Structure 1
Amino acid sequence: MKITRLIALIALVTITFSCKQESEENTAFAKAETPQFNVPFEKFTLDNGLTVILHQDDSDPVVAVALTAHVGSAREIEGRTGFAHLFEHLLFLESENLGKGGLDAMSARIGGSGANGSTSRDRTNYFQTVPKDALEKMIWAEADKLGYFINTVTDPVLAKEKQVVKNEKRQSVDNRPYGHARYVVGKNLYPENHPYNWQVIGSLEDLQNATLQDVKDFYNRWYTPNNTTLTIAGDFDIAQTKEWVEKYFGEIPRGEEVPAMEKQPVTVANTKRLYYEDNFARLPQLSMTWPTVPNYDKDSYALEVLASYLSKGKNAPFNKILIDEKQLTAGVRMFNFGSEIAGEFGLSVNAYPGKDLDDVLVGINEAFTKFELEGISQKDLDRIKAGQETQFYNGLSSVLGKGFQLAQYEIFAGDPAYITEDVDRILAVTKEDVQRVYEQYIKGHNYIATSFVPIGQTTLALEDSDLAQVVEEKIVEGAEETFDASIAADYERTPSSFDRSEEPAYGKTAEVTVPNVWEDKLSSGLEVYGIENDEVPLVQFQMNIRGGLLLEDINRVGVSSLLADLLMKGTATKTTAALENEIESLGANIYTYSDKENIYIGGNTLAKNYDKTIALVQEILLQPRWDKTEFDLLKQSTLSRLEQQQANPNSIAAIQFDKLIYGERSLLAQNSLGTPASVNAITLEDLKSYYNNYVVPNVAKMQVVGAVGKEKATTVLAGLNDNWEAREFTIPVVEVPKAPEQSNVYFYDVPDAKQSVLRFGYPAMAETDKDFYPAQMMNYRLGGGGFASQLTQKLREGKGYTYGIRSGFSGSTLPGAFAVSSGVRSNVTYESTALVKDILKNYGKNFTQQDLDVSKSFLLKSQARAFETMGAKLNMLDDIANLGISPDYIKERQAIVENMTVEEIKKLSDKYLNPDKMIYLIVGDKKTQMDKLEQLGYGTPILLNESKEPVKN
């Protein structure tokens, strides 16, 4: 990924589709006819081979543009891996006509969602959602990537981006628990000459060895119009858009013909058992992987059902055996992962501390045997399909999601209209199919087993396991090559029939329609806020009940978190399994969780099942089961999660930073999960006491978005309103410390960490403070604007120190922190910290009118995207309900932006960005990095822990 944001791509999309679930047995699933849902599209191909797919959707004044090249890591060769992912990065930087900053710089000006991309084994895509008036600009920019880019790649540019990609690998693979597991599976499941033998991100050695000519050859071979699909979805004029596509893409030359990828399924001759001592693991992990079939193979559909049935829900065979009976783990993950030329079926179990993975394997085999004897019922099959229907609609709630899936079908199924067959195959899966694929691909077949265990605990690995070969990077000072990324490329411009250096003008300004918000207050005191939107037949909802950590005993922290989890473990009349079955049979999802200020219950459901779903919410809230067995299992699971947090540098940084910001004994400094001591001490009576005293309607606020009006939304809540008793109580006021008078540096030792995690900041203000939004605006060019921010431009783009860095204010109804956060290459920890300090010190002094213009342009134009998705609308309601702001707050913020001056930004910077009055926290390798930090001028770093380095066996 170009930035740390994951886009969920669903496996279902439709042209005109009516889905009606039928069951041979009685289920809670409503059998009413589902309304037809249309995703019409137009497809055409330019003379140079570019495939173009257009989908109109005028529900919001936005357009999503995605360029998908049919090239992923599978097109690479051994020894030159990671190139497709490298180009995902390079293509945002510069092109001949966009100049330095490329699409990233333009995104900030036009109010886009941020140029982003992702790479898989089989494709690379580049995407962004923009206000409709910027569509021509986006088409111009995307064409520049495809036809007018490669000349701008120089040795300094390549050297810098190599460092960025290496930092991404350190962050996502090398510096986290079980990060190398997929590498070990890939190397052993697929033969050396198979395109899936290596990982998408490639190896550090291959990246370092890549020459400029290697990179140019790879680009020229694969990034051609005839190997690329352009999708445009949203509010636009089709005829005009076709003209623009032809103008900007039409004269880009066709490339060599690209042969279709032949299917290359694999077999495992003998079961392989491998183990690895993981520097960041606190829990032993067992994974097992079997080769299966590519995506869209007829058997892939039944394998998806098999994975879901075996591992999801209280009644799942694996949960019954491994969680309930043997109490070896808190959860089992199982998946069928199909790619273009091969597929795999896998499971992964993080066992409790000290559990022998041989015992886990015994439990796995017992769970498979249980399935063999019992099979899957029609009722369970219908339940799983009901969930697929809701997943289908969720994936189509944005124009980008629609565009993604149209491209997916085009590239890998040969036609965007593949939906007919796809849906038929999904709905055609039978009980017999599920049993058959289990026997054909899993039962008795060889597999790859990996045991990732904490250092020094190899006795927990499966017997007869061989040591897995993993290349670990050494931390070496000054090992990285130097470069000057500011050097301009010298090249002869690619000829064109018109002047491409002139950026197209904006179209007609997008008119932003603020959703109509309705409000109601029920007799119990429950406040309800809603937005009616029937773009998809779904409803999303969330209720927050004020309290959370704020109402807990400092010596017994974790009660509200356990309570939130226990609410989902059955009701007075339903076991956990029965409750899960009812929810899933409705195609619904209900969740609960807690944080420092609230307990939450929310979910989503098909609109036709909204009343039945809310009836279950009422039962969950008003009739807890108080199951002692489930309570004990939850405590065990929570203790396991706490153990694992202590091995994850990012979790460590978050926990330690809160303690430094709020003070060790502040409730706000506590981990919402609790501590091992507090969790062990909590009783079921503690949960009941919290519930009876504080889970009441007069401190609760409900938000509802979707295909339901105010009358029905509130009428359905009548039972909850009538039966939920109000109670008055006072929520304690928590004092938040002021910023320190003098900066201090704190260090938390994680031996051999490949990255240092940085958290710098101080206690700031609440979101209700009058300065909060102006300060957010001030922060846009500092670290809140992604690639438009100085922190990113200087630490990532200028130095290659990091994969990503950001800054921001985190206040809510309570004062939060201002924080700068990043993960940097370990051997530039001091240099990165000193550079951040310098940027903070000079930000206000150097802030210019151009900086202000870019900030204003983004904040004003991005309003067109502010309410596109249901999630965005739900967030809007949450702000209105809990922050006490007006439904017209967008207009109020627009006035703040329009009236802001450079001088006001400078004043805000002076007030809120003093690097000499901050907390500097570094989580990293003490022996190589801590002492140098004294050069910051804030005294000797304060060590927060004494870490005893484990020794690998």
Structure 2
Amino acid sequence: MIKKILFVAFAIILVACNTNKKEKETSLNVPFQKFELKNGLQVVMHIDKSDPVVAVELMAHVGSAREIAGRTGFAHLFEHLLFLESENLGKGGLDKMTARIGGSGANGSTSRDRTNYLQTVPNDALEKMIWAEADKLGWFINTVTDPVLAKEKQVVKNEKRQSYDNRPYGHNQVIIDRNLYPKNHPYNWQVIGSLEDLQNAKLEDVKTFFKKWYVPNNATLVLSGDFDPVQAKKWVEKYFDEIPRGDEITPLEKRPGVVKETKLLYYEDNFARLPMLTFAWPTVELYNKDSYALNILTQYLSQGKKAPLNQVLVDDLKLTSSTSMYNRSSELAGQTQLGVRGFANVDLNEINNGIQKAFEKFEKEGISDKDLNRIKAGLETRFYSSLSSVLGKGTSLASFNTYANDPGFINKEINYTLGVTKEDVMRVYNTYIKNKNFIATSFVPKGMEKLALKNSKEAIIKEEKIVQGAEENFDPKIAAKYKKTPSTFDRSIEPPYGKSPELSVPTVWKNELSNGIKVFGIENSEVPLVQFNLVIDGGQLLEKMDKLGVANLTASLMNRGTKNKTVAQLEEAIQELGAFIRVSSSTENITISGTTLAKNYSKTVALIEEMLLEPRWDETEFELLKKSVVGNLRQQKASPTTIANNVYNELIYGKDNIRSKNTLGTIESVDNSTLDDLKSFYTNYISPSVAKMHIVGDIKRDDVLASLSNLNAKWESKNVEIPIYKTPEAPNKPTVYFYDVPNAKQSVINFGAPALAATDKDFYPATVMNYILGGGGFASQLTQELREGKGYTYGIYSGFSGTKAVGPFTISSRVRTNVTLESAQLVKKIITDYPKNYSEKDLATTKGFLIKSNARRFETMYAKLNMLQNMSAYGFSSDYIKDREKIVTEMTIEKIQELSRKYVNPNKMIWLFVGDAETQLDRLNELGFGQPVLLNKTKEKIKH
């Protein structure tokens, strides 16, 4: 199988990288077939028989770079529009079909240079997908009407508010790019476009844009997975051949950014609580040889304990907890960026001085062979990981064909990284960074301009004003009237299914070691990798109320060296194996997770054993860690989404329940924590008696158990009693709560109530019930009504989040500020009417998706690992998927109605809003649930 070939090649490369000899070229070979239709559509097919699924991807060579100033955001707008309707799929288009066929969820993305549409489906639905993708190019544009366009503008504008306007540092990239590239450069604006351009877009503008760029001769179709290529080619020709070729498209010329003089800019950010400094330099375009050396340079300078930037800014000056530097190469140009978020009240001039010291350090010392090879190993791991699923390989093949006109570049590109020398790394530093002009942005909290770089000029961002009733009215449900596009056959008939794939549940083995560790494994020889986690029950549940955050601090410090290895030495040991290891904490456990080559598994386990049994307990690292966590907590106080989640947990669980507390703790509790607190937590609670090992990969049961023999002998078991906190019952009446974030451009909403534990008999049936309500993406009523029907939000979701304890049913979204009330009223109506409105068609859609999607249930190692975790945490059997299939098959409308009335009652819910109180608080009286409770008092609203 191809996956085996991929990773054998990877193993060969890693051996080469651990020598000082010149690197060998990879023997990587991802086989593919490519052909071109007479209309110019390029088609690439890759066969992978490991799972009965196919990834289908259509990539159009059009992104924001093909737009013009004043008409920005069109490419991204089409990413949205193409899912809504086509002549032959009808309203809801691909989204409705996806739910029926068990697809992964039709999705897409837009970059500066391309737009792609993709999903993974059971292989019996391949013809259906080819039929649907053809409709995008040949039978779509007539369905776009003024009301449809008006609604989708609102959805995209909500996405912009969510990603840019209503989050800390959201405008940083906007300011950088508009200064790094001239006004007439297509990278001057953001992919999402401007609110003004989107609002001004006319239907004719949109149709003209589509007809120019969405043509077969500007697109690539990739099929990747388990299918018959001869039959697939016939289907492609049948459905795509008659789509007419478009006008010839002239490729855009490479055009680097221009910074004639260094520019220093500052911005007072309404949502920032910590100052942040960003530098940006113009560099090189995609596939330029220097881009690979820049990737290594930026990683060496900023990642890990040995990174010069971290040595100076983190360890020596203690101005920040981390630094970030990366190279971004796009089709026409590239840019390298360095970002440092300082601790509270840190002067960014001090950070600037530290950056210069770090650069001087690098200039003197350069990069060693050992560090160069270490970084290459990590870059290779990432590259190959991106090819470990059929969807990942499909996207790579589409990208290489689009940008390099050669899908075979997938087998060559890694060689450019392998070929980078120490001299190349220093050369690109001198060529693009040292003494070169750059853009510097200082993002500071409101009223703290003094922290910005000296001589910075204010960057102006046009803020959206919150105006009640400002948006236009529209009805996107009005059917479009048009003359149907002709075809040589009846395209309105959906193609039939192929042969149904069988559900194959992986074989699970179990064992228990003498010290109490329970081991769950799945042997999977598709790729020579091993993925695992060691879950230690307890986590935050074992904390005391006056020691909040200790579990998180303990887990985090376990990443920072061992008794015999400094932080840098531990990082190096892990990276030299091409492995990843991380210790993390959550509400219910501490987890050591990792991925490694099968041949390096034993060495990786030895490092885990060292991290687990011999923590370093370094006082300096502990103090740095505390400062980092406090910085995160300060920033959380300004993030509306994080505020909403933290406040919601308190309302659901009550202040006396540890589950209501932030897993990071509080600023006060972290400041007051001592190393002895961590040692006490570790000594009392990190025990094999409450530990479970989950392992998936190319390794046999006996080898796994042999690898754990040392851990079994050395890790002494102790009794650990994990407190049980009872979740309160759902409230007897609804209450509206409001948390004020002045000037918020969106309201974050969390509506819900305590409901079920994952082990309750009703948990999975209730999840089935919720599919059409809010768990089924575009198949759900909440999405169809609030996003597709009204354009109030970019996304809305509902679901049950119980674990071993009862958790809440929650409806969550981020909605346009001036429709906060209207969104809540619509949610209230939907959940009130849900039991009586649920139809036979809804039940059929639910059953179709939940049963058919099982064909791709275990495609990835992560999915298999998740299955083992469910088994060990909740006592599920190894074939619990089949038990769930039976529940779905036997589900009735009456049972759906019963579950809905029991667990989704609007009159027994918490209704939480986080947003702008000045404009929205009083309006919520109209919701009919009494006067809202204001949870915080803020300073006077900031005027602009």
1:471 CA displacement: 1.4
Matched, 1:233 2:232: no
How has the CA–CA distance of structure 1 residues 208 and 767 changed in structure 2, closer, same or farther, with 3 Å as cutoff? same
Match of 2:888 among 890, 894, 897: 897
1:577 corresponds to: 568
Match of 1:722 among 709, 713, 723: 713
1:32 CA displacement: 14
Matched, 1:117 2:108: yes
Partner SS state of residue 764, structure 2 = helix
Kept after mapping to 2: 8 A contact 1:531/1:704: yes
1:9 corresponds to: none
Aligned-partner residue type, residue 627 of structure 1:
D
Kept after mapping to 2: 8 A contact 1:176/1:648: yes
Matched, 1:659 2:650: yes
Matched, 1:550 2:537: no
1:668 corresponds to: 659
1:20 CA displacement: 2.6
Q: Distance in 2 between matches of 1:345 and 1:40?
A: 33
Q: Distance in 2 between matches of 1:504 and 1:60?
A: 22
Q: Write out the 4+ residue segments of structure 1 that deviate beyond 3 Å after TM superposition.
A: 12-19, 21-27, 31-38, 949-953
1:827 corresponds to: 818
1:810 corresponds to: 801
1:24 CA displacement: 9.3
Equivalence map 1:446-465=2 (5 Å): 446-465=437-456
Q: Distance in 2 between matches of 1:562 and 1:811?
A: 25
Q: Distance in 1 between matches of 2:82 and 2:595?
A: 37
2:191 corresponds to: 200
Per-residue CA distance 1:215-262 (angstroms, 9 max, x = gap): 000000000000000000011001000000000001000001111121
1:162 CA displacement: 0.2
Q: Distance in 2 between matches of 1:536 and 1:247?
A: 36
Partner SS state of residue 764, structure 1 = strand
Aligned-partner residue type, residue 436 of structure 1:
R
Matched, 1:677 2:668: yes
Q: Which runs of 5+ in 2 are unaligned?
A: none
Per-residue CA distance 1:369-415 (angstroms, 9 max, x = gap): 11001000000001011112221221122100000001111111220
Matched, 1:353 2:306: no
1:5 corresponds to: none
2:484 corresponds to: 493
Kept after mapping to 1: 8 A contact 2:146/2:203: yes
Equivalence map 1:439-838=2 (5 Å): 439-838=430-829
Aligned-partner residue type, residue 406 of structure 1:
L
Kept after mapping to 2: 8 A contact 1:183/1:199: yes
Kept after mapping to 2: 8 A contact 1:18/1:33: no
Kept after mapping to 2: 8 A contact 1:271/1:447: yes
Aligned-partner residue type, residue 370 of structure 1:
K
1:878 corresponds to: 869
Kept after mapping to 1: 8 A contact 2:325/2:337: yes
Q: Distance in 2 between matches of 1:916 and 1:888?
A: 38
Q: Distance in 1 between matches of 2:928 and 2:850?
A: 37
Aligned-partner residue type, residue 151 of structure 2:
K
Equivalence map 1:154-169=2 (5 Å): 154-169=145-160
Q: Distance in 1 between matches of 2:96 and 2:509?
A: 38
Q: Which runs of 5+ in 1 are unaligned?
A: 1-11
1:917 corresponds to: 908
Kept after mapping to 2: 8 A contact 1:527/1:700: yes
Matched, 1:61 2:48: no
Q: Distance in 1 between matches of 2:24 and 2:250?
A: 44
Equivalences, count = 940
1:864 corresponds to: 855
Match of 1:393 among 384, 388, 411: 384
Q: Distance in 2 between matches of 1:447 and 1:398?
A: 39
Match of 2:363 among 362, 372, 377: 372
TM-score (norm 2): 0.98
Matched, 1:281 2:272: yes
Partner SS state of residue 584, structure 1 = helix
1:585 CA displacement: 1.1
Q: Distance in 1 between matches of 2:8 and 2:210?
A: 34
2:77 corresponds to: 86
Q: Distance in 1 between matches of 2:25 and 2:617?
A: 37
Give the stretch that moved more between structures: 530-539 or 684-693. 530-539
Q: Distance in 2 between matches of 1:826 and 1:614?
A: 51
1:567 CA displacement: 0.1
1:20 corresponds to: 13
Per-residue CA distance 1:667-721 (angstroms, 9 max, x = gap): 0101000001111111111110110111011100011111112121221111111
1:511 CA displacement: 1.2
1:948 CA displacement: 1.1
Partner SS state of residue 278, structure 2 = strand
Partner SS state of residue 335, structure 1 = strand
Per-residue CA distance 1:340-375 (angstroms, 9 max, x = gap): 010000011111110010111000000101100100
How has the CA–CA distance of structure 1 residues 817 and 727 changed in structure 2, closer, same or farther, with 3 Å as cutoff? same
Partner SS state of residue 187, structure 1 = helix
Aligned-partner residue type, residue 468 of structure 2:
E
Partner SS state of residue 261, structure 1 = coil
Partner SS state of residue 330, structure 1 = coil
Per-residue CA distance 1:20-58 (angstroms, 9 max, x = gap): 34679889x9x9999965421101000000000000111
Kept after mapping to 2: 8 A contact 1:751/1:926: yes
Aligned-partner residue type, residue 806 of structure 1:
Y
Per-residue CA distance 1:144-201 (angstroms, 9 max, x = gap): 0111000000000000000000000000110000000000001000001101000000
Matched, 1:184 2:179: no
Partner SS state of residue 813, structure 2 = strand
Q: Distance in 1 between matches of 2:221 and 2:498?
A: 20
Q: Distance in 1 between matches of 2:16 and 2:401?
A: 33
1:942 corresponds to: 933
Match of 1:106 among 73, 93, 97: 97
Per-residue CA distance 1:499-526 (angstroms, 9 max, x = gap): 0000001000011211111111111111
How has the CA–CA distance of structure 1 residues 25 and 864 changed in structure 2, closer, same or farther, with 3 Å as cutoff? closer
Q: Distance in 1 between matches of 2:63 and 2:926?
A: 44
Q: Distance in 2 between matches of 1:751 and 1:579?
A: 45
Partner SS state of residue 533, structure 2 = strand
Per-residue CA distance 1:774-817 (angstroms, 9 max, x = gap): 00000000000000000000000000000000000000111111
Kept after mapping to 2: 8 A contact 1:543/1:601: yes
Kept after mapping to 2: 8 A contact 1:13/1:392: no
Kept after mapping to 1: 8 A contact 2:749/2:812: yes
1:221 corresponds to: 212
Aligned-partner residue type, residue 888 of structure 1:
D
1:949 CA displacement: 3.8
TM-score (norm 1): 0.97
1:536 CA displacement: 2.2
Q: Distance in 1 between matches of 2:11 and 2:642?
A: 45
Q: Distance in 1 between matches of 2:27 and 2:700?
A: 20
1:17 CA displacement: 7.0
Q: Distance in 1 between matches of 2:310 and 2:9?
A: 38
Backbone CA RMSD of aligned residues = 1.7
1:735 CA displacement: 1.1
1:951 CA displacement: 4.2
Match of 2:292 among 285, 291, 301: 301
